[in-house]
Amino acid sequence: MIPGFLSPALINLLWESLTQTAIMVSVSALLALILGLPLGVLLVVTTPGHILARPAVNRVIGTFVNLIRSTPFIIMMVAIIPLTRLITGTSVGTTAAIVPLTIAITPLFSRLAETAMREVDRGLIEAAEAIGATPFQIIAKVIIPEALPGIIAGLTVTLVSLIGYSTMAGTVGGGGLGDLGIRYGYQRFMPEVMVTVVVILVVIVQLVRLVGDRAAIAVNHRIARRRRGLA
């Protein structure tokens, strides 16, 4: 049994759980960025009339993304336990939770990135094509840079969603703050632990939103200044 509120034992547990949550969220977010951004680019450039129009490819990718997004996270965690065990050698713990977290959150980020990149002015893309830019150059030097504020905003939403998913991962042995809240706050009838966990999660979410919003605004201002300089 944990001693009283904010005792050294409880503080140690909170710190350990916070560290586990930070690892789960940061690694999953990085993997989602690495996997989801190219996926979002493909969803944009393979649409009919775009620079790499491949309607069949676009439909396959879109169907795959929608299928994963429509699967509840808890069900997905259980369904892919064999895959998680194959990749990590275990189905419980922080490392194991990264697998379903990444699979669940990558399609979300890819759709958010797709939305941001679709808002890029087609005139800029056509101008790049007119001067002989290759599709890769258009993607790397026009589409992604112009859509960067929206991509950062999408990454912020992704991080917030990941924090929520990580707490659910705790209910099936994923560790982290969710696991601490369930095991001690709920199962052992220690409301002070549950309240502390909730407060920590709220603070983390607000910090993520604050940093993400400011980063998106800063990038947007730089893009605006660059456009004025070229005008």
DSSP code at position 71? S
Q: Check: CATH 1.10.3720.10 for 8-230?
A: yes
| pLDDT-flagged residues of the chain (< 70) | 1-6, 171-172, 221-231
47 three-class SS: coil
Q: Tell me, what's the pLDDT at 6? A: 61
Q: Tell me, what's the pLDDT at 209? A: 94
pLDDT digits (tens, 9 = 90+) for 163-174: 999 888 876 677
Is residue 231 within 8 Å of residue 48, measured between CB atoms? no
Rounded to whole angstroms, what are the CA distances from 94 to 75, 88, 155, 173, 175? Answer: 18, 10, 21, 8, 6
182 three-class SS: helix
Q: Tell me, what's the pLDDT at 41? A: 96
pTM for the full predicted model:
0.87
> Could you tell me the residue ranges of all domains in the chain?
8-230
Half-sphere exposure of 2 (CA within 13 A, CB side): 23
Which strand (E) or helix (H) includes residue 19? helix 8-45
For 82-129, the DSSP string reads HHHHHHHS-SSSHHHHHHHHHHHHHHHHHHHHHHHHHTS-HHHHHHHH
Rounded to whole angstroms, what are the CA distances from 220 to 10, 73, 140, 152, 223? Answer: 43, 33, 17, 10, 5
Q: Tell me, what's the pLDDT at 1? A: 41
Q: Tell me, what's the pLDDT at 220? A: 80
Q: Tell me, what's the pLDDT at 218? A: 87
